[in-house]
Amino acid sequence: MMERRIRESATSPTRTLSTSCTGGGGRAMTRTERRALQRKRRIFAARAVICLVALLAVITLVLAVTTPTAAEGEADAGSTKPPCVSIIPEETEQASRDPAEYLAKTLYGEARGCSTVEQAAVVWCVLNRVDDESGLWPDDIIGVVTQPNQFYGYDPDHPILPELLAVAEDVLSRWEMEDICLGDVGRVLPKEYLYFTGDGKHNYFTTEWKGGATWGWELDNPYGR
Number of domains the chain is built from: 2
Question: Are 79 and 186 a contacting pair, CB within 8 Å?
Answer: no
| 181, part of any domain | yes
Instruction: Specify whether 70 is located in the same domain as 119.
Output: no
Instruction: Specify whether 159 is located in the same domain as 80.
Output: no
Note if the pTM is more than 0.75: no
Instruction: Specify whether 109 is located in the same domain as 181.
Output: yes
Nearest one of 168, 90, 186 to 122, comparing CA atoms: 168
Instruction: Specify whether 191 is located in the same domain as 119.
Output: yes
| 1, part of any domain | no
**Domain encompassing residue 55:** 24-92
User: How many whole angstroms separate alpha carbon 69 and alpha carbon 49?
Assistant: 32
User: How many whole angstroms separate alpha carbon 65 and alpha carbon 33?
Assistant: 48
Instruction: Specify whether 202 is located in the same domain as 140.
Output: yes
What does each of the 225 residues of the chain score in pLDDT, given as a tens digit?
Answer: 444 444 433 333 333 333 333 334 445 567 666 676 666 666 656 666 676 667 777 677 667 666 555 544 554 444 444 444 444 444 444 445 899 999 999 999 999 999 999 999 999 999 999 999 999 999 999 999 999 988 888 999 999 999 999 999 999 999 999 888 767 899 999 999 999 988 878 889 999 988 889 999 999 999 986
| 38, part of any domain | yes
Question: Are 189 and 128 a contacting pair, CB within 8 Å?
Answer: yes
Instruction: Specify whether 86 is located in the same domain as 101.
Output: no
Q: Which of 92, 117, 144 is the last residue of a domain?
A: 92
Nearest one of 1, 8, 51 to 195, comparing CA atoms: 8
| 7, part of any domain | no
Q: Which of 70, 92, 114 is the last residue of a domain?
A: 92
